[in-house]
A and B are shown apart, each in its own frame.
Chain A
Amino acid sequence: MQTKRTIFPNKLLPYLLLTPQLAITIIFFLWPAGQALKSSFEREDPFGFKTTFVWFHNYARLFSDPEYLNSVWRTAIFAVSVTAISMSVSLLLAVAVNRLLRSGKFYTTLLVWPYAVAPVVAGILWWFMFNPTIGILPYLLDQFGINWNHRINGSQAMILVVIAAAWKQISYNFLFFVAGLQSVPQSLTEAAAIDGAGPFKRFWTIVFPLLSPTTFFLMIVNINYAMFDTFGTIDATTQGGPAGATNTLVYKVYADGFLGLNIGSSSAQSVMLMLIVIALTVIQFRWVERRVQY
């Protein structure tokens, strides 16, 4: 890729311009990450008087803990479902809006609003709608003979958090998909129409492959969102329950560290999360990005 390079006459100026960003990264990321790494090798006594260096003891316990492994599995289900649902719904909406000439802007504006809703508020919104006692949706589901109670049914709790988390991400995906669709030249779909491809075939053989850079980018963003940015949504709806059915890795870090006060284990878990993020990013940018070039 060609980038325009700027030559600074002053050697100090570039560093000065980078300072604000660097300061934020150091204070809010590198420092706490270092702290987490340090305390993941330590054990603290119940009163916080003394810490002992315990090597990999925290990690060893983590991997023999069935609850942790359960949480890894729950997180995988959660992340894949949220990504799949939010991306397919937003692609559908984007394709629909892209067909409109004049009213497209109006729908786009409306569809972007959910993104402005804070995760906790989104969580509460869905919690309220699905509330087994006062919610409207359990009432409607009851008409179809479905007994909704996410407080005791783990699968239903998972469905609830998946819907709440996916709903919020649809706006974001939608915007990118609309932009992606608009950059596919009209003449390509016209050429395909003349070449005898019906609307569905045109979409899957021409438009969708050309959208693949957008799709893969969104996949990375969505998996990361589902794994790391959904703490508020889960905390406001199920709090990881019932019986750990929605206890994702991020929520477990919080629950073990701040509620269970097991700082050592919680730190080890966040170090694991960091490694997962790094691995995901490397995999996706190294291998997946390279293959979507056309």
Chain B
Amino acid sequence: MATLDLKGVKKTYPGGVAAVHGVDLEIADGELVVLVGPSGCGKSTLLRMIAGLESITEGTISIAGDVVNRKEPAERDIAMVFQNYALYPHMSVRGNLEYGLKNRGTPREDIDQRVAEAARILEITPFLDRKPRQLSGGQRQRVAMGRAIVRKPKAFLFDEPLSNLDAKLRGQMRIEIRRLQRTLGTTSVYVTHDQLEAMTLADRLVVMNAGRIEQVGKPIELYDRPASLFVAGFIGSPPMNLFEIDKLRSLPGAEALQTLPAGTGIVGVRPDTVALSQANGPSIKLTGTIELIEPVGGESHLYVRCEGINQIVTIVAQGRTGLTETSMLDFWLPQAGFHPFNIETGKRLA
């Protein structure tokens, strides 16, 4: 158990390609931090730098207060779960779990006891003498987790560990990882590109874009107050509607825009805050044709083409709407749901 400290961490590959441009991040003891972002944003590179699989071009990484920049992966006392699990195919499950302990010269009885305990926690005891190829995807995933927990490392690093599983199993494993991490209380860094996974797992969420941190915070804070257009578009599904403010000025109820801070160029509205009936308080009225309805069960996603502003607006409506495609729809953007952004910097205003 330990804190993790990243100060001005940069990565430039030989040949001049920069993958990470100065990342500062402090991770508290026992915290689960999720790095999320589109592919190529540098999140995996950052994780591999913490693990010691990539060199650090600039800045420092400390684990439990020790700068580990020049330490070998083995000396950092971390465990990593790989996307393809990276189980040793020629060893049994037991061999896979023991390997790290044997290399560190753990006494035999200690090894047996730890392996038995990890196998019990992950419910893989019946498979201990099988080879990885005889296991299903979910079982392999558990073995990979087991290999991480037997060593009782200072930190767990997860590199998109669930992306090879089917949707149902992914949901189950997500809950299990969360439970396991809470029980063990081990500091963890989790990399994913799946924003649902990111939102549900994270104590704190780090949104990365093009090698930089866009925003750090509790998942719900990021959802409620995205700090930039990038975060606004990335967190939340379906993504936030973004309107150029000038297009809204001539619409009924445009007075609602007056309270926005000076310099606002873009107004964002979450699809679930769009109202289908006139609400209390100031709101802007829009009219459009329903192009597509996606019934998701408890809610429906409406895609409405608004000729006036020449844009498709996404609306999340609760329950069954009774609406039909190609029909006309009036809806309101309530002032309380406005997210003001500057158009040049892409940053949130107020």
B84 touches A195 (CB 8 A): no
Contact with B89, one of A195, A197, A205, A210 (Cβ below 8 angstroms): A210
A193 touches B74 (CB 8 A): yes
Q: How distant is the Cα of A82 from the Cα of B306 in the complex, in angstroms?
A: 79
Contacts of B88 in A (CB 8 A): 188, 191-192, 206
A187 touches B86 (CB 8 A): yes
Does chain B have a CB within 8 A of A294? yes
A-B contact count (CB 8 A): 60
A193 touches B72 (CB 8 A): yes
Contacts of B82 in A (CB 8 A): 187, 190-191
Given contacts A187-B84, A201-B103, A294-B131, contact A193 B53 (CB under 8 A): yes
Q: How distant is the Cα of A188 from the Cα of B51 in the complex, in angstroms?
A: 14
Q: How distant is the Cα of A135 from the Cα of B99 in the complex, in angstroms?
A: 52
Contacts of B80 in A (CB 8 A): 190-191, 194
Number of interface residues of A (CB under 8 A): 19
Q: How distant is the Cα of A191 from the Cα of B310 in the complex, in angstroms?
A: 52
Given contacts A185-B84, A187-B82, A187-B84, contact A193 B73 (CB under 8 A): yes
Main SS class of interface, A: helix
Number of interface residues of B (CB under 8 A): 24
B74 touches A188 (CB 8 A): no
Contacts of A196 in B (CB 8 A): 74, 100, 103-104
Interface string of B142-154 (1 = CB under 8 A from A): 0000010001000
Closest A residue to B89 using CB positions: A294
Q: How distant is the Cα of A190 from the Cα of B103 in the complex, in angstroms?
A: 14
Does chain B have a CB within 8 A of A14? no
What is the distance, in angstroms, from A225's C-beta to the closest C-beta of chain B?
28
Does chain B have a CB within 8 A of A209? yes
Q: How distant is the Cα of A197 from the Cα of B91 in the complex, in angstroms?
A: 15
Does chain A have a CB within 8 A of B79? yes
What is the distance, in angstroms, from B7's C-beta to the closest C-beta of chain A?
23
Q: How distant is the Cα of A188 from the Cα of B89 in the complex, in angstroms?
A: 9
Taking CB atoms and an 8 Å cut-off, the chain B residues in 64-87 that contact chain A are: 72-74, 78-80, 82-84, 86
**23 A-B pairs, CB-CB below 8 angstroms?**
A185-B84, A187-B83, A187-B86, A188-B86, A190-B51, A190-B73, A190-B80, A191-B88, A192-B88, A193-B73, A194-B74, A194-B78, A195-B74, A195-B100, A195-B103, A196-B103, A196-B104, A197-B74, A197-B103, A205-B99, A209-B90, A210-B90, A294-B131
10 nearest A-B residue pairs (beta carbon): A195-B100, A196-B103, A294-B90, A187-B86, A196-B74, A191-B86, A209-B90, A194-B73, A193-B73, A187-B82
